[in-house]
A = this chain, B = another copy of it.
Amino acid sequence: MTNLTRADFETLDKNDTLAPLRDQFSLAQDLIYLDGNSLGVLPKATAAHVQQVITQQWGVDLIRSWNCNQWMQKPAQLGDKIGQLIGAEAGQVLACDTTSINIFKLAAAAVKMRPGRSKLITETGNFATDLYLLQGLAKLLGDQVQVVALPREQVLDAIDDDTALVLLTHVHFKTGAMWDMPAVTQQVQQHGALMMWDLCHSVGAMPIHLDRVNADLAVGCTYKYLNGGPGSPAFVYVAKRLQAEFEQPLTGWLGHAKPFDFNDEYQGANGIQQAMCGTPPVLANAALEVALDVMLQADLNQVRQKSSHMGDLFIQLVQQRCPWFQLSSPVDKAIRGSQVSLVHDQGYAIIQALIERNIIGDFRAPDHLRFGFTPLYLRYVDLWDTVDALVDIMTHDLWKQPKFLAKQAVT
């Protein structure tokens, strides 16, 4: 393997067909942002659109906007746009609530659809909220179900005919390791269980084909690779073939078949609408819509190709120049998401030292330095420059300054 030079990365940028998309994002030229897998960058068109929704739709049209500006229809409309990004035909996705709440809805519905089965299987070290919501549900239901959380390599063997649901995050938040979605889905279904995919760390970073893999249930967030904005609405997917028996317990008025009849008895709407609960967040939906429209301009196969290539290059650079780190992500791009994580027991301080140089990656306790590759706005030279900075910081022990060592909460 020949040694790479910065010129190689400049050439890659020149030939990058996705490069023009960077212009649609508001991102300082001197900033290297490798944290789009935690909070995506602001699309340039967002501010003006949200402003219009605030000043005209809310300020002038007021209450009429629920109809005339289709505020009420947005969760389904945005859901269908997200559907295009995850291989879901219309009518199976809603933009609503948070990933956490949507996990609860789907897990509770899964328990109901698989009566008599007691296991909710997931992986230890999964993103914490996935574990916690299953635990919250199990506790609420008493002895009816139990959470079985196992190390990654033991998960598949544990699936049996007593399994109601398997919940896995498609791409692991810390390591970037990716599950084989078609194979796992099939294996879960062979045991008569339901599979829920958490797509938080893969949606927008690669093509996903929920319908094609015969998926059951999925959730995900929109503020990472989708650039919907901080705390933007999450989404929920329920396969068409399950919708007739799908019943989730957060039976808010907007999941009712006829919400404006104000009947005393809940009667769930048909289809994915039953996954709705309360009143939709209009301003957040406005920001999300702009972001999805940008995302939909990109070919997700190209996105995946660039992201995988970036990961390969970053790993190659680290292996050539950074002996201080252990690689936590898979080397094989076929099972790696759109991030590369390095392990170092002083990871926090090292990330802080990078941030001071305007290179933003993030830290995940206790020891992960996480670098996300977001092909819509990341340049190949950013990878070179990041590793260059890392080499400098490590060679000269620059991270040992007290200001870098002092810990505070980082998201």
Please indicate the chain B residues that have their CB under 8 angstroms from the CB of A365 in the complex.
260-262
CA–CA, A136 to B212, complex, Å? 32
Which residues 22-43 of A sit at the B interface, judged by CB distance below 8 A?
A: 26, 28, 33, 35, 38-39, 41-42
Contact yes or no, B58 A252, CB < 8 A: no
Q: Is A369 in contact with chain B by the CB < 8 A criterion?
A: no
Contact yes or no, A59 B39, CB < 8 A: no
Contact yes or no, B131 A230, CB < 8 A: no
Find A252's partner among B133, B141, B251, B265 (CB 8 Å cutoff): B133
Q: Is A319 in contact with chain B by the CB < 8 A criterion?
A: no
Find A54's partner among B42, B63, B135, B410 (CB 8 Å cutoff): B42
Please indicate the chain B residues that have their CB under 8 angstroms from the CB of A259 in the complex.
128
CA–CA, A223 to B71, complex, Å? 14
Q: Is A125 in contact with chain B by the CB < 8 A criterion?
A: yes
Write out, one digit per residue, whether chain A residues 229-270 have a CB within 8 A of any chain B CB (1) or not (0).
111111000000000000001111111100111111110000
Contact yes or no, B35 A63, CB < 8 A: yes
Interface centre among A221, A230, A262 (most CB of B within 10 A): A230
Quick one: closest B residue to A140, CB to CB? B249
CA–CA, A98 to B51, complex, Å? 23
Q: Is A296 in contact with chain B by the CB < 8 A criterion?
A: no
Quick one: closest B residue to A135, CB to CB? B266
- The smallest beta-carbon distance between A377 and chain B, in angstroms, is 12
Q: Is A2 in contact with chain B by the CB < 8 A criterion?
A: no
Q: Is A339 in contact with chain B by the CB < 8 A criterion?
A: no
Please indicate the chain B residues that have their CB under 8 angstroms from the CB of A64 in the complex.
355, 360
Q: Is A132 in contact with chain B by the CB < 8 A criterion?
A: yes
Please indicate the chain B residues that have their CB under 8 angstroms from the CB of A266 in the complex.
131-132, 135-136
Please indicate the chain B residues that have their CB under 8 angstroms from the CB of A124 in the complex.
264
Q: Is A129 in contact with chain B by the CB < 8 A criterion?
A: yes
Q: Is A88 in contact with chain B by the CB < 8 A criterion?
A: no
Of the listed stretches A76-84, A158-166, A275-283, A384-392, chain B binds: A275-283
Of the listed stretches A12-20, A100-108, A181-189, A395-403, chain B binds: A100-108
CA–CA, A285 to B229, complex, Å? 12
Contact yes or no, B54 A47, CB < 8 A: yes
CA–CA, A365 to B258, complex, Å? 11
Find A136's partner among B98, B249, B261 (CB 8 Å cutoff): B249
Interface centre among A41, A131, A137, A360 (most CB of B within 10 A): A131
What are 24 A-B contacts with C-beta separation under 8 Å? A26-B55, A33-B62, A39-B58, A39-B62, A50-B50, A50-B51, A63-B360, A67-B408, A67-B411, A97-B98, A100-B250, A100-B252, A101-B101, A125-B264, A128-B259, A128-B262, A133-B250, A133-B251, A136-B250, A136-B266, A230-B281, A232-B281, A234-B278, A260-B410
Give the 3 A-B residue pairs with the shortest CB-CB distance, closest first: A98-B278, A100-B252, A136-B251
